[in-house]
Amino acid sequence: MKTYTLDQAKDELIGLAGSFERDQYETELQLELIGDMIQKARKQRKLTQEELGDLVGVKKSQISRLENNTGNITLDTVLKVFKALEAKVNINIEMLNKKVEVV
């Protein structure tokens, strides 16, 4: 029986790093993790989806969509949600294998 590393399995089953399919998979995974973090923080604050929605100024259904990674979300909404949850957000952007020229 042949064994694979996680990266090898993703390359084989999803696509090579940098391919459209792989990038789409990675993006969806990150959005799912954000939804999980929102739900966990909301529950730690002992808030219902409706209560969190009221704090943010959106409907309960939008909080549900955020937590379940369904529908489109904006960074602005995500930041408002974490602010309402009194959670600190750090965004790290790293350019991989690209040279950025500043003029």
pLDDT band at 75 (very low <50, low <70, confident <90, very high): confident
Specify the pTM: 0.72
What per-residue confidence (pLDDT) applies to 103? Answer: 55
Maximum average pLDDT range among 28-37, 39-48, 86-95? 39-48
CATH topology of domain 6-84: 434 Repressor (Amino-terminal Domain) (1.10.260)
Burial class (CB in 10 A: 0-12, 13-18, 19+), 94: exposed
